[in-house]
Amino acid sequence: MQAKYSFVYMVDILKKTLFSTKLMAVLFLVFATAMALGTFVESWYSTETARIYIYNATWFEAIMVFFVINFVGNIFRYRLLSWKKWPVLLLHLSWILIIVGAFVTRYISYEGMMPIREGASESRFYSDKTYLTAYVDGEINGEVKRRILEDDILVTAEGMRSSLPWRSDFNGQDFSITYMDFIEGAKEGLVPDENGKSYLKIVEAGDGQRHEHYLEDGQIASIHNVIFTLNNETPGAINIFASDDSGYRIKTSFGGGFMRMADQFQGDVVQDSLQILQLRSLYNLAGMQFVIPEPLVKGSYGIVKVPEEEVTDATMDALVVGISSNGETKELKLLGGKGTSDFSDKINVGGLGFSLSYGSKIHELPFAIQLNDFIAEKYPGTETGYASFMSKITVEDERNFDYDIFMNHVLDHKGYRFFQSSFHPDEKGTVLSVNHDLWGTWITYIGYFLLYVGLMGIMLFGKTRFRDLATSLKKVQKKKAALAVFVFFISSLSFAQETSQNHITAPTRAQIDSVIKATTVSKEHAEKFGALVVQDEGGRMKPLHTFTSELLRKLSGKDKFRGLDSDQVFLSMMLNRVAWYHTEFIVTNLGSKQNDSIREILKVKKGEKYIKATDLFDATGMYRLKPYLEEATSTTNPNKFQKDFIKLHERFSLLEMALSGQILKVFPLLNDENNKWISAVEFRGGQYQVQDSLYANFMANALPYYLNTLQNSIATGDYAQADKLLEAFKQNQKNHGSEVLPSDEKIKTEIIYNKLDIFNRLYKYYMVLGVFLFFVLIFRIFKEREIWKAATYFFKGIIVILFIWHTTGLILRWYISGHAPWSDAYESILYVSWATLGLGLLFIKKSDLTLAASTFVASMLLFIAHQSWVDPAISNLVPVLDSYWLMIHVAVIVGSYGPLTVGMILGVTALILMILTTKKNKTRMEINLKELTIINELALTIGLVMLTIGNFLGGQWANESWGRYWGWDPKETWALISIMIYAFVLHMRFVPALRGRWFYNFMSVAAYGSIMMTYFGVNFYLVGLHSYAQSGSAAITPDYVKYIVLGVLILGGISYWRYRVNYIETSSKKSDNKPQGEGLPKMLSEQ
């Protein structure tokens, strides 16, 4: 009986532990920490290493199993099987289904890659997983038998995850296969050896990629299903005969030809005829092109490591295993890896025959796919910037049908999904991603659907925490007598600027100014010049006004120079390039202490922010940066000195191209398939030929004639002739470049957008209004007057107007770019600031302090957006981003940063109020603390709902785009980490030791670090698929980050001390109630 009660007691303890909120809190933190570690392991080593030690590890999967157990237990513990609690029930069920779906996808489903050449038909694809396969051959009762062992293996130079070592037997004879080593980047190679065998090297590109093969003397080998022999004539093969005495001959059953590379001589290969083999010639036989680049060599042939600088995505790896049986052990190197399956090695050990291979498994489809055509469309004027690519295929099944597969347009057939993944470098073949995950996808999608409904439900329906908080907020506002005190300080930095030293031979500042003045065109004509269209390096078509604005900003860091707008500056450059070499307008970082060495190299005075182009050359004309440039650009991790060095060189190179006119690509190239536009400099260089003689004459002479006319117009003030020439430019652009020329309305809109400079101005306006509103609210706290009340309404009205202006700016950018304005770093910051202020406006009737905080945050975000490392230029989208999923996924997930940012600011404000609390103002402060904490929790709830929905919508986007809804990319992983952390913060109230108003507000501030890492850390520091990291220059971690962290810790420590003094110890004296956990009262318990 006692044993029975003991067992029941143990079961009860186990249930309480597994279903406890403490375990839930621990799981949130452990799961988040493990994923964070995984992102850094991936960045430091590789994705496979992160999978081995973390994402695919058993202990990591165990965390998810415990989550499922905890969720199931809490459904019954908190009686969620109730109509009133259906939103919370759906949330728990959704996470259970998502985790179950993930397990189905990992352990039951499979995926892989299918390369197909144009005109070919394929019914097999390579598995995404790599496998080790062993065939063990021997005799049983005189008959040859075979035993097969196979298992997936994930291996890198840093570790391995597999079922190795294998220990088994064949007819009672024990054998074992063990892991010994892994060579990352390997190939079949030849080690020269005078005593070795003779080999002939063959180079081919049968699948669009270069491959090297070594044919051994006497060998018969199959290379992409074509038989080659060396000194071993075989019917139906390409027979090569080679010796040092008789030279090289070729005899083949296929007719074809060759081209000798040295002199481009072309010849025929006659079928079944013995002919001289031409070395270093391109042969085209049996549908294959190959070259024999060198004579026979002697050596030992095997697997060798590829030099690190030569490793590409197509490079294979080598797995080294040890095979033991019957007291004998041998080592075997297996060449292979993901996407390969053709390599196997045989070896005899202890009387048994072993045939092993390492690589992908071949999956057979119940149908075939024929690639009829592959189409790759590039952005206008680019060679590598692809706008889209598409595979036109025929599905060969019981009923054939044609289909087009391209990005975000997939093929579903018989449980298989096909996605456009990539293509062969020669654009003659496609690579399709294949996914067979019907059940995993459906289970996961049902989980996503329940998650979305549940998240929306907790805010809108049922008996939920969110609705309770909204009710509590109304009660607090009825009691409220005054708003909280918020102390705000602003510090600003001033930059000293001194004049640069003048060289004896250089023109004076006055002389340069007079030259610039003499080459300054009227604003009216400059505006007309800015309406011309130019093609940038990325293929985007934009007005010259945008082009010149970006140029001036990159060179000088300013939008204007000495009163001249960017169009006037550019035309002045074109009219007198020498003067601009001597003009101090190239912005540098020479004012910082770290750059004393650069300052000494350039021989400029300390503290100068701008330099002349001539400062980069010494008296002999030698480029001063040249001796240091190679080292700075070749290092993978340049230091701050080298980064500033590179930036300075890039600015000078940009100035060079501008002054020469090389980047002024305003002439459409006739009949170009990529709609390329070129500059007059490029045309005069003879690189491009134009058949139309009139247009060719225009391209060669129009710009010099225009500049000459413009010089006369400046002198006379009459720009009529220059205006006519601009019209001629426009007309030629319309006649020859209409396919990519933006409409007149779009050009005008973009110029208006540039001139308004909405977002650069907004951060200053937001800053001033946020500060003023804070101070007005402070005055209202101490003494309510009609003037302060009127001022509050006035500032709120102005903020609403500015928010509308902000919205207008986003709409204009959307119209100009042709895609939603949140596709790169700059645009996403603009959107986050908009979402932040938008949330503040949602509480405009409930909390003026929240609106002030939101306005201040919006200003800081816009200020960050206009730092030098963020590029504000509008650019073309990569194909995968050109999708309606972009609008939904990014809009929701980036929009979530707004409420979470507001929560952080409110948390800081609450902690400051705790510090400022005294016995006299405690009652007033306590009411404000209640209000701020309630709004904080409402904001975090909204933010977490948006972040969760946005993140999993991204999973659906990924699944619809390339067939994988979760790939542990650092961006999506850190978004999930943020979800875990904020879920922990909002669930702390269920853990007695974690309850309390101080701890909640402090954690709302600390948790924001995960958002900063999700947005900035991943985008600019970690390795990932997401494209923001490509926007602008690489970000440098500011020194003030550590001071912010230290400041948060100090703020938390002081506020906790004051909170204990004013709220906990005071409450303890007045009441005999025992505090929970650490002594903090239950959060919002007074409500």
pLDDT of residue 597: 65
pLDDT in tens, 714-732: 988 899 999 999 999 899 8
The more confident residue out of 5 and 585 is 585
User: Taking 80 as the threshold, does the pLDDT of residue 677 lie above it?
Assistant: yes
CA distance 812 to 853: 27
Arithmetic mean of pLDDT, 879-897: 64
Average pLDDT over residues 127-140: 91
Q: In this predicted structure, what is the pLDDT of residue 883?
A: 55
Contact 1062, 918 (CB under 8 A): yes
User: What span, in angstroms and rounded, lies between the C-alpha atoms of 871 and 1033?
Assistant: 8
CA gap 51, 274 in Å, rounded = 55
One-letter amino acid identity for 518? A
End-to-end CA distance of the chain: 49
Q: Say which residues have a Cβ less than 8 Å from residue 464's Cβ, sequence separation at least 6.
A: 85, 87, 88, 457, 458
pLDDT at 950: 83
Least confident of 338-342, 755-759, 999-1003: 338-342
More confident residue, 140 or 982: 982
Hey, is 653 helix, strand or coil?
Answer: helix
Sign for the CA dihedral angle at 599, 602, 608, 610 comes to negative
Q: Which of 624-633, 855-864, 1071-1080 has the lowest mean pLDDT?
A: 1071-1080
Helices (runs of H) and strands (runs of E) counted in the chain: 32, 33
Cβ(258)–Cβ(266) below 8 Å: yes
pTM score of the predicted model: 0.65
**Residue 1033: what pLDDT?**
42
Cβ atoms 154, 182 nearer than 8 A? no
Domain boundaries, the chain: 2-77, 113-123+362-440, 131-361, 464-482+784-1070
With bands split at pLDDT 50, 70 and 90, how would you rate the model's confidence at 502? very low
> Is residue 354 within 8 Å of residue 133, measured between CB atoms?
no
What is the 8-class DSSP label of residue 1024?
Answer: -
- Tell me the mean pLDDT in the region 669-684: 85
Angle (nearest 5°) at CA 57 between 51 and 58: 160
Above pLDDT 90, what percent of the chain?
29
Single-letter amino acid code for the residue at 687: Q
Range name among 402-406, 446-450, 635-639 with the lowest pLDDT average: 635-639
913 vs 997: CA distance, rounded Å: 12
Looking at residue 1083, what is its pLDDT? 34
Range from 163-177, 300-314, 912-926 that averages highest in pLDDT: 163-177
Find the mean pLDDT for residues 955-975. 78
Q: Is the pLDDT of residue 595 over 80?
A: no
Q: What would the DSSP string read from start to end of 153-222?
A: -EEETTEEESSPSEEEEETTEEEEEEEEEEEEEEEEEEEEEEEEEEEEEEEE-TTSS-EEEEEETT-EEE
Six-digit token string for 504 = 């004896």
Can you give the pLDDT at residue 1075? Answer: 39
Asked if 940 and 900 touch (Cβ cutoff 8 Å), the reply is yes
Q: For 196-243, write each residue's pLDDT tens digit.
A: 888 999 998 876 677 888 888 999 988 888 899 999 999 999 999 998
Q: Which long-range contacts (CB under 8 A, 24 or more apart) does 283-286 make?
A: 283/256, 283/257, 283/258, 284/256, 284/257, 284/258, 285/226, 285/238, 285/252, 285/254, 285/256, 286/226, 286/238, 286/252, 286/254, 286/256
Percentage of residues of the chain with pLDDT beyond 70: 84
Partner residues linked to 201 by β-bridges: 214
Whether residue 165 is preceded by a cis peptide bond, meaning omega within 30 degrees of 0, is: yes
HSE, CB side, 13 Å, CA atoms: give it for residue 232: 11
For residues 329-347, give the mean pLDDT.
Answer: 86
Side-chain half-sphere CA neighbours of 794 within 13 A: 11
| pLDDT tens digits, one per residue of 311-335 | 877 788 999 999 999 999 999 999 9
Name the most confidently modeled range: 56-60, 246-250, 305-309, 454-458: 56-60
Is the model's pLDDT at 31 over the cut of 90?
Answer: yes
The CA distance from 796 to 789, in Å, is: 11
Question: What is the per-residue pLDDT for 619?
Answer: 75
